[in-house]
Structure 1
Amino acid sequence: MAFVQPDSYALKNEQGIHQYTVRSIYLDSLDMECYNQKESGIQLRRKLRIRGYNQLDNDSKVVLEIKRKIGSRIKKHRASLYFNDLDDMLRNAKLEDVIITQPGKEALDDARRFFFHLKKKQYRPSNLVVYEREAYHGKMDQGVRITFDKDIRSRISPKIETLYDDRNLKRLFYNHFVLEIKYFTNNMPLWAKSLVQEFKLRNDAISKYTIGYDVSKFNQKLTY
């Protein structure tokens, strides 16, 4: 791997692959606003999700996240807290008591943004999506991140407390994974662009949320 190295958060498994488990509960309104905006191709939209990693333990943290998409650009607002505090926070909105703050970070403001949209739209848990992420970042370009999301599976109408429950999940893809190349400059690095060209990779807007919802609720067969 001349240009990349494993993500520092990824642990090597028995096969020698550096990866970790990502689990997200997507929130949506009763009329499925977020789902319908994606399906309609609206360029300016947002999604709310609660994200955790790996398996549950006493120190497990979760992230409250607003993911805003403006055309091809993505902006995220994130705030962390312990999973054990999550249910009480959602019921009582005592953000100052549970949000983990760091100097120079806007975690508390981002948590307030999350809670504002949560209550304004009356969002509730819509879909749980779980997958294994193999992650790398550039050796020379630290802002470049390459991820392989594998064994993607989902379950509709989860409860918040079941974020770490892997039962009754339906697999989205049997023969495919999702590759993302993320960079924060105007142009993709040449070495990454050469990989895209060599393997004839196509650029698709893949939504794990909407695909997972379709597979779980409608048993929809994928054409990938």
Structure 2
Amino acid sequence: MAQIVFKRHEKKYLLTGEQYQRLMLVLNGVMDMDVYGRHTIRNIYLDTPDYELIRTSIEKPVYKEKVRLRCYGGSIDDSSTVFVEIKKKFESVVYKRRVEMSLETARKYLYYGIEPKEEGQILKEVDYTVKRYGLRPMAYISYERTAYTCQMDRELRVTFDQNILGRLGELDLRVEPYGKCLLPQDMVLMEIKITDAMPVWFSRILADFGIFPVSYSKYGTFYGKYIHPMLMAAIEEENGGYSGRTQYEQGGLICA
């Protein structure tokens, strides 16, 4: 059971179609597309029944964490390789630890509580977090990604995500992507993943194109735009029209 650890800084940017096209004209000369080309990423996010993890994340604490089940590529079946991930962010540093296993093993573990036969430190961390919060599969989010690596610095990675979709039903990676659109079709989410500071030459390119970092979370956006309004509507119905809402806006992009 392979275990993988990442420690890095991640910066996010929302690009218009025009900004994306202009930027790619420059990056194509200094970056290489990875071997997978444009590919699909499917995720099942684990949370508490009342969405405690994502609600906490939206409040922008110094420390936050997420647990998810992820796979890459097209057709998925029980024998496909998937990753159980725990992603932690402390201040501006992202720590991602994940364990590789088959989808069948992951489903038995995360959906039915049947622990894998293999052991390891990362799996113990995941298991502790799952049991501490009482986590269960709560949301499906998929997107199309194209990733690039810098020719001059292989530690610099840039990804572009489009067609970001979220749903609450059919929380099964084997089911083809569909759901609510979480980003306008003419927008692209760019993420820059680096181990140290952003290269000066790259920062200048972004500034010249009017591209600046934003705070954005796919799961956070799904919660704010669709899940939270749905929960508030249910509360209103139970309370005869009074929601008691005090903290979150209904709809719109929620950033985390």
Check whether the contact 2:58–2:254 (CA below 8 A) recurs between aligned residues.
Answer: no
Q: CA deviation at 1:59?
A: 4.2
Letter in 1 for 2:217: S
- Normalising by structure 2, we get a TM-score of 0.73
Look up the match of 1:210. Answer: 220
Residues 47 and 167 (structure 1), Cα distance of their counterparts in 2 relative to 1, 3 Å cut:
closer
- Does 1:118 find its partner at 2:137? no
Q: Is the 8 A contact 2:149 2:158 kept in 1?
A: yes
Specify the SS of the correspondent of 1:173: coil
Correspondent of 1:194 among 201, 204, 209 = 204
Q: In 2, are the aligned partners of 1:95 and 1:112 still within 8 Å (CA)?
A: no
Question: Contact (CA 8 Å) 1:23, 1:131: kept in 2 or not?
Answer: yes
Aligned to 1:36, which of 48, 55, 62?
A: 55
Q: Which residue of 1 aligns with 2:248?
A: none
Question: Normalising to structure 1: TM-score of the pair?
Answer: 0.83
Larger radius of gyration: 2
CA contact (8 A) 1:34 1:47 kept: yes
Shift of 1:157: 5.1
- For residues 180 and 168 of structure 1, the distance between their equivalents in structure 2, rounded to whole angstroms, comes to 23
For residue 162 of structure 2, the aligned residue among 150, 155, 160 is 150
| Aligned match of 1:80 | 100
Count of aligned pairs between the two proteins: 204
Amino acid at match of 1:77: R
Deviation at 1:164, TM superposition (A): 3.1
Q: Structure 1 counterpart of 2:142, which letter? A: V
Structure 2 contact 43–173 (Cα < 8 Å) conserved: yes
Query: Partner of 2:115 in structure 1?
Result: 94
Give ranges in structure 1 of 5+ residues lacking alignment.
Answer: 11-17, 100-107
47-56 or 167-176, larger mean C-alpha shift: 167-176
Distance 2:182 2:208 in 1: 26
Helix, strand or coil for the counterpart of 1:213?
A: helix
| Residue in structure 2 matched with residue 65 of structure 1 by the alignment | 85
Q: Percent identity?
A: 27
- Relative distance call for 1:215 and 1:54 in structure 2 (3 A) is farther
Match of 2:176 among 142, 161, 166: 166
* Alignment RMSD (CA, Å): 2.2
Structure 1 contact 154–216 (Cα < 8 Å) conserved: no
Matched with 2:242 is none
- Please give the per-residue CA displacement for 1:22-67, whole angstroms capped at 9, x wherever unaligned: 1111111123221111221112111111111122146421111111
- Tell me the residue number matched to 1:20: 39
Alignment CA distance shift 1:31-1:89 (3 Å): closer
Structure of higher RCO (CA pairs closer than 8 Å, 6+ residues apart): 2
Cα separation, 2, equivalents of 1:167 and 1:131 = 8
Pair 157,115 (structure 1): closer, same or farther in 2 beyond 3 Å: farther
Please state if 1:2 is matched with 2:22. Answer: no
